[in-house]
Protein backbone atom coordinates (compact mmCIF):
# COMPACT_ATOMS: atom_id res chain seq x y z
CA UNK A 1 0.00 0.00 0.00
CA UNK A 2 1.33 3.43 -1.00
CA UNK A 3 0.45 6.60 0.93
CA UNK A 4 0.86 9.47 -1.52
CA UNK A 5 1.05 13.05 -0.25
CA UNK A 6 1.11 16.16 -2.44
CA UNK A 7 0.22 19.84 -2.58
CA UNK A 8 0.69 22.81 -4.85
CA UNK A 9 -0.35 26.43 -4.58
CA UNK A 10 -1.52 27.34 -8.06
CA UNK A 11 -4.47 29.33 -9.41
CA UNK A 12 -7.44 27.08 -10.17
CA UNK A 13 -10.24 28.93 -11.95
CA UNK A 14 -12.81 26.14 -11.66
CA UNK A 15 -12.25 23.97 -8.56
CA UNK A 16 -15.56 22.15 -9.10
CA UNK A 17 -14.52 20.93 -12.52
CA UNK A 18 -11.20 19.62 -11.18
CA UNK A 19 -12.95 17.97 -8.24
CA UNK A 20 -15.35 16.15 -10.57
CA UNK A 21 -12.45 14.87 -12.67
CA UNK A 22 -10.71 13.63 -9.54
CA UNK A 23 -13.87 11.83 -8.42
CA UNK A 24 -13.85 9.93 -11.69
CA UNK A 25 -10.20 8.96 -11.25
CA UNK A 26 -10.28 8.17 -7.51
CA UNK A 27 -12.82 5.37 -7.53
CA UNK A 28 -13.90 4.77 -3.93
CA UNK A 29 -13.42 1.04 -4.41
CA UNK A 30 -9.67 1.47 -4.84
CA UNK A 31 -8.68 4.78 -3.22
CA UNK A 32 -8.90 6.19 0.30
CA UNK A 33 -7.87 9.59 1.63
CA UNK A 34 -8.67 13.28 1.25
CA UNK A 35 -8.03 15.77 -1.54
CA UNK A 36 -8.82 19.45 -0.95
CA UNK A 37 -9.34 21.69 -3.98
CA UNK A 38 -9.47 25.47 -3.86
CA UNK A 39 -8.93 28.52 -6.02
CA UNK A 40 -5.51 28.73 -4.38
CA UNK A 41 -4.41 25.15 -5.18
CA UNK A 42 -4.62 21.50 -4.20
CA UNK A 43 -3.64 19.52 -1.10
CA UNK A 44 -4.06 15.77 -0.76
CA UNK A 45 -3.08 12.51 0.86
CA UNK A 46 -4.38 9.23 -0.56
CA UNK A 47 -3.65 5.53 -0.28
CA UNK A 48 -3.90 2.76 -2.84
CA UNK A 49 -1.68 0.22 -4.61
CA UNK A 50 1.20 1.22 -6.85
CA UNK A 51 -0.79 0.93 -10.06
CA UNK A 52 -3.50 3.30 -8.84
CA UNK A 53 -1.18 5.89 -7.31
CA UNK A 54 0.80 5.92 -10.56
CA UNK A 55 -2.46 6.53 -12.44
CA UNK A 56 -3.24 9.50 -10.20
CA UNK A 57 0.24 10.90 -10.72
CA UNK A 58 -0.21 10.61 -14.49
CA UNK A 59 -3.53 12.46 -14.25
CA UNK A 60 -1.74 15.39 -12.63
CA UNK A 61 1.36 15.25 -14.86
CA UNK A 62 -0.88 15.59 -17.93
CA UNK A 63 -2.19 18.88 -16.51
CA UNK A 64 0.30 21.72 -17.00
CA UNK A 65 -0.76 23.27 -13.68
CA UNK A 66 0.50 20.24 -11.77
CA UNK A 67 3.16 18.78 -14.05
CA UNK A 68 5.96 19.74 -11.64
CA UNK A 69 4.14 18.81 -8.43
CA UNK A 70 6.24 16.94 -5.86
CA UNK A 71 4.99 13.70 -4.28
CA UNK A 72 5.88 12.22 -0.91
CA UNK A 73 5.53 8.45 -0.69
CA UNK A 74 5.35 6.11 2.26
CA UNK A 75 4.84 2.37 2.20
CA UNK A 76 2.44 0.75 4.64
CA UNK A 77 0.99 -2.71 4.97
CA UNK A 78 -2.45 -4.19 5.54
CA UNK A 79 -5.61 -2.12 5.25
CA UNK A 80 -5.95 1.46 4.02
CA UNK A 81 -4.77 4.00 6.63
CA UNK A 82 -7.74 6.21 5.66
CA UNK A 83 -11.40 5.37 6.26
CA UNK A 84 -12.84 6.60 2.95
CA UNK A 85 -12.16 8.72 -0.13
CA UNK A 86 -13.14 12.39 0.17
CA UNK A 87 -12.72 15.16 -2.40
CA UNK A 88 -13.80 18.55 -1.10
CA UNK A 89 -13.98 22.15 -2.29
CA UNK A 90 -12.52 24.57 0.26
CA UNK A 91 -11.80 28.27 0.53
CA UNK A 92 -8.21 27.40 1.50
CA UNK A 93 -6.22 24.17 1.07
CA UNK A 94 -4.89 24.76 4.58
CA UNK A 95 -6.89 27.09 6.80
CA UNK A 96 -4.99 30.19 7.86
CA UNK A 97 -7.69 32.88 8.05
CA UNK A 98 -5.23 35.57 7.01
CA UNK A 99 -4.51 36.80 3.49
CA UNK A 100 -0.86 36.54 2.49
CA UNK A 101 0.90 36.88 -0.83
CA UNK A 102 2.56 33.52 -1.44
CA UNK A 103 5.10 35.24 -3.67
CA UNK A 104 6.61 36.42 -0.38
CA UNK A 105 7.06 32.91 1.04
CA UNK A 106 10.43 31.91 2.41
CA UNK A 107 13.22 30.17 0.54
CA UNK A 108 13.04 26.37 0.39
CA UNK A 109 16.06 24.57 1.81
CA UNK A 110 16.88 20.92 1.17
CA UNK A 111 17.25 18.28 3.91
CA UNK A 112 21.04 18.51 3.46
CA UNK A 113 20.95 22.30 3.89
CA UNK A 114 18.66 21.84 6.90
CA UNK A 115 21.31 19.67 8.60
CA UNK A 116 23.80 22.52 8.18
CA UNK A 117 21.76 24.46 10.78
CA UNK A 118 23.34 22.15 13.38
CA UNK A 119 26.93 21.96 14.58
CA UNK A 120 28.99 18.76 14.68
CA UNK A 121 27.53 17.91 18.11
CA UNK A 122 23.97 18.09 16.80
CA UNK A 123 23.06 21.41 18.42
CA UNK A 124 21.39 24.31 16.62
CA UNK A 125 23.89 26.93 15.62
CA UNK A 126 23.84 30.35 17.23
CA UNK A 127 21.35 32.88 15.85
CA UNK A 128 19.09 30.16 14.33
CA UNK A 129 15.43 29.99 15.35
CA UNK A 130 13.81 26.74 14.27
CA UNK A 131 10.01 27.05 14.35
CA UNK A 132 7.62 24.11 14.36
CA UNK A 133 4.37 25.34 12.78
CA UNK A 134 2.31 22.23 13.59
CA UNK A 135 -0.32 21.75 16.29
CA UNK A 136 0.62 21.02 19.90
CA UNK A 137 -0.25 17.29 19.79
CA UNK A 138 1.96 16.87 16.71
CA UNK A 139 4.89 18.57 18.40
CA UNK A 140 4.43 16.47 21.53
CA UNK A 141 5.21 13.11 19.93
CA UNK A 142 8.13 14.23 17.76
CA UNK A 143 10.17 17.26 16.68
CA UNK A 144 13.57 18.39 15.46
CA UNK A 145 16.19 18.87 18.13
CA UNK A 146 16.18 22.44 19.46
CA UNK A 147 12.91 23.40 17.75
CA UNK A 148 10.60 26.02 19.21
CA UNK A 149 6.86 25.45 19.17
CA UNK A 150 4.39 28.31 18.77
CA UNK A 151 1.91 26.54 21.11
CA UNK A 152 -0.80 26.16 18.50
CA UNK A 153 -4.07 24.33 18.96
CA UNK A 154 -4.78 24.97 15.26
CA UNK A 155 -2.68 26.47 12.47
CA UNK A 156 -4.97 29.48 12.13
CA UNK A 157 -3.72 30.67 15.56
CA UNK A 158 -0.24 31.24 14.11
CA UNK A 159 -0.65 34.92 13.24
CA UNK A 160 -1.85 35.72 16.78
CA UNK A 161 0.64 33.63 18.76
CA UNK A 162 3.92 34.13 16.91
CA UNK A 163 6.29 36.48 18.78
CA UNK A 164 7.83 38.55 16.00
CA UNK A 165 10.18 40.34 18.40
CA UNK A 166 11.93 37.04 19.10
CA UNK A 167 12.65 36.63 15.39
CA UNK A 168 14.29 39.99 14.68
CA UNK A 169 17.85 39.72 13.36
CA UNK A 170 17.64 35.92 13.48
CA UNK A 171 17.90 33.21 10.85
CA UNK A 172 14.34 31.85 10.94
CA UNK A 173 13.66 28.36 9.60
CA UNK A 174 10.24 26.70 9.74
CA UNK A 175 9.02 23.16 9.17
CA UNK A 176 5.79 21.16 9.15
CA UNK A 177 4.75 17.66 8.10
CA UNK A 178 4.71 18.17 4.34
CA UNK A 179 5.48 21.85 3.76
CA UNK A 180 2.02 23.20 2.93
CA UNK A 181 1.56 25.13 6.19
CA UNK A 182 5.00 26.71 6.07
CA UNK A 183 4.26 28.30 2.71
CA UNK A 184 1.75 30.61 4.39
CA UNK A 185 3.58 30.92 7.71
CA UNK A 186 6.85 32.07 6.11
CA UNK A 187 5.01 34.53 3.85
CA UNK A 188 3.26 36.05 6.87
CA UNK A 189 6.48 36.45 8.86
CA UNK A 190 8.30 38.03 5.93
CA UNK A 191 5.44 40.46 5.39
CA UNK A 192 5.83 41.55 9.03
CA UNK A 193 9.42 42.65 8.34
CA UNK A 194 11.48 39.55 9.21
CA UNK A 195 13.97 39.17 6.36
CA UNK A 196 15.91 35.90 6.74
CA UNK A 197 13.12 33.31 6.54
CA UNK A 198 13.14 29.85 5.00
CA UNK A 199 11.41 26.48 5.28
CA UNK A 200 12.36 22.82 5.06
CA UNK A 201 11.45 21.79 1.53
CA UNK A 202 8.64 19.18 1.47
CA UNK A 203 8.68 18.91 5.26
CA UNK A 204 9.37 16.23 7.83
CA UNK A 205 8.26 13.17 5.87
CA UNK A 206 10.68 13.80 3.01
CA UNK A 207 13.48 14.66 5.44
CA UNK A 208 12.92 11.32 7.19
CA UNK A 209 13.34 9.43 3.92
CA UNK A 210 16.72 11.04 3.32
CA UNK A 211 18.06 11.38 6.88
CA UNK A 212 16.23 8.99 9.16
CA UNK A 213 18.78 8.85 11.97
CA UNK A 214 19.97 12.38 12.57
CA UNK A 215 18.39 15.38 14.36
CA UNK A 216 14.79 14.16 14.48
CA UNK A 217 13.52 13.02 17.86
CA UNK A 218 10.45 10.82 18.38
CA UNK A 219 7.83 10.01 15.75
CA UNK A 220 5.88 12.07 13.23
CA UNK A 221 2.14 12.60 13.61
CA UNK A 222 0.13 11.84 10.45
CA UNK A 223 -3.54 12.55 9.77
CA UNK A 224 -4.73 8.99 9.21
CA UNK A 225 -5.47 5.85 11.21
CA UNK A 226 -1.75 5.20 11.79
CA UNK A 227 -1.56 8.40 13.88
CA UNK A 228 2.25 8.35 13.74
CA UNK A 229 4.94 7.53 11.19
CA UNK A 230 8.03 5.90 12.76
CA UNK A 231 10.65 8.27 11.22
CA UNK A 232 13.29 6.78 13.52
CA UNK A 233 12.08 3.40 14.74
CA UNK A 234 15.06 3.07 17.09
CA UNK A 235 14.45 6.39 18.84
CA UNK A 236 13.14 6.63 22.38
CA UNK A 237 9.75 8.30 23.00
CA UNK A 238 9.98 12.04 23.66
CA UNK A 239 6.48 12.26 25.14
CA UNK A 240 4.73 10.89 28.21
CA UNK A 241 1.38 9.33 28.94
CA UNK A 242 -1.10 12.15 29.58
CA UNK A 243 -2.66 10.18 32.44
CA UNK A 244 0.18 8.55 34.41
CA UNK A 245 3.33 10.21 33.05
CA UNK A 246 4.96 7.01 31.81
CA UNK A 247 7.24 7.42 28.78
CA UNK A 248 5.13 6.70 25.69
CA UNK A 249 4.55 7.82 22.10
CA UNK A 250 1.24 6.04 21.54
CA UNK A 251 -1.16 8.72 20.29
CA UNK A 252 -4.91 8.29 20.00
CA UNK A 253 -8.27 10.11 19.94
CA UNK A 254 -10.37 10.17 23.09
CA UNK A 255 -13.25 7.73 22.60
CA UNK A 256 -15.71 10.31 23.92
CA UNK A 257 -16.84 11.90 20.64
CA UNK A 258 -17.73 15.17 22.38
CA UNK A 259 -14.11 15.41 23.56
CA UNK A 260 -12.21 13.72 20.70
CA UNK A 261 -8.90 15.21 21.87
CA UNK A 262 -5.60 13.79 20.72
CA UNK A 263 -3.58 12.56 23.67
CA UNK A 264 -0.60 10.33 24.45
CA UNK A 265 -1.42 7.19 26.40
CA UNK A 266 0.41 4.11 27.61
CA UNK A 267 -1.20 0.69 26.96
CA UNK A 268 -2.11 0.29 30.64
CA UNK A 269 -4.03 3.58 30.86
CA UNK A 270 -5.64 2.98 27.49
CA UNK A 271 -7.15 -0.25 28.78
CA UNK A 272 -7.94 1.11 32.24
CA UNK A 273 -9.87 4.12 30.90
CA UNK A 274 -11.44 2.34 27.94
CA UNK A 275 -9.56 4.44 25.37
CA UNK A 276 -10.58 7.73 27.02
CA UNK A 277 -8.38 10.64 28.07
CA UNK A 278 -9.91 10.98 31.55
CA UNK A 279 -12.21 9.32 34.07
CA UNK A 280 -14.87 11.92 33.23
CA UNK A 281 -14.83 10.92 29.56
CA UNK A 282 -14.79 7.25 30.49
CA UNK A 283 -17.98 7.69 32.54
CA UNK A 284 -19.70 9.19 29.50
CA UNK A 285 -18.53 6.39 27.18
CA UNK A 286 -19.45 3.65 29.68
CA UNK A 287 -22.85 5.18 30.44
CA UNK A 288 -25.70 2.84 29.38
CA UNK A 289 -27.33 3.98 26.14
CA UNK A 290 -30.80 3.98 27.74
CA UNK A 291 -29.67 5.98 30.77
CA UNK A 292 -31.48 9.24 31.41
CA UNK A 293 -29.31 12.29 30.69
What is the tens place of the pLDDT at every residue in 31-52? 999 999 999 999 999 999 999 9
Q: What is the mean pLDDT of residues 106-128?
A: 95
Separation between Cα atoms, residue 194 and residue 222, nearest integer Å: 30
Q: Are 142 and 216 in contact (CB under 8 A)?
A: yes
**Which residues in the chain are classed under CATH 3.30.70.100?**
2-89
Q: At what angle do helices 50-61 and 15-25 cross, to 10 degrees?
A: 150
Q: Residue 234: its pLDDT value, please? A: 57
Tell me the CATH number of domain 102-220, given options 3.40.50.12780, 3.40.250.10, 3.30.1050.10, 3.30.9.10.
3.40.250.10
Q: What is the mean pLDDT of residues 77-92?
A: 91
Q: What percent of the chain lies above the pLDDT cut of 90?
A: 66
**248-285 pLDDT, tens digit each:** 877 778 889 898 887 888 888 988 899 998 999 998 88
Told to judge if 176 belongs to the known catalytic residues of this protein, a careful annotator would answer yes
For residue 33, the cross-strand partners are 46, 85
Full-model pTM: 0.83
- Given 26, 176, 266, 269, the catalytic residue: 176
Q: What CATH architecture does domain 2-89 belong to? A: 2-Layer Sandwich (3.30)
Is the pLDDT at 68 greater than 60, yes or no? Answer: yes
Residue 82 above 80 pLDDT?
yes
Sequence ranges of the chain with CATH classification 3.40.250.10: 102-220
Q: What is the pLDDT of residue 293?
A: 46
Q: Supply the pLDDT for residue 203.
A: 93
Q: What is the mean pLDDT of the chain?
A: 90
**pLDDT, mean of residues 143-172:** 95
pLDDT above 90 for 124: yes
More confident residue, 42 or 245: 42
292 pLDDT tier (thresholds 50, 70, 90)? very low
**pLDDT for residue 291:** 53
Read off the pLDDT of each residue in 287-293 and give the average, rounded to a whole number: 61
Amino acid sequence: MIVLGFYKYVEIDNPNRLAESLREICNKQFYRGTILVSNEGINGSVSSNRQNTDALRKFFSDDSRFSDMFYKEEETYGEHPFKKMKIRIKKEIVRFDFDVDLKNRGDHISPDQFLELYDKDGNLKENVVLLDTRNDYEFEVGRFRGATHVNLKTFREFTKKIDLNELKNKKVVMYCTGGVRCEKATAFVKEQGIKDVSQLNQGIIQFGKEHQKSVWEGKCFVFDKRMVSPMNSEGEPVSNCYICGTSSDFLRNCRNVDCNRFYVSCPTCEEKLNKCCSKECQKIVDKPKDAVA
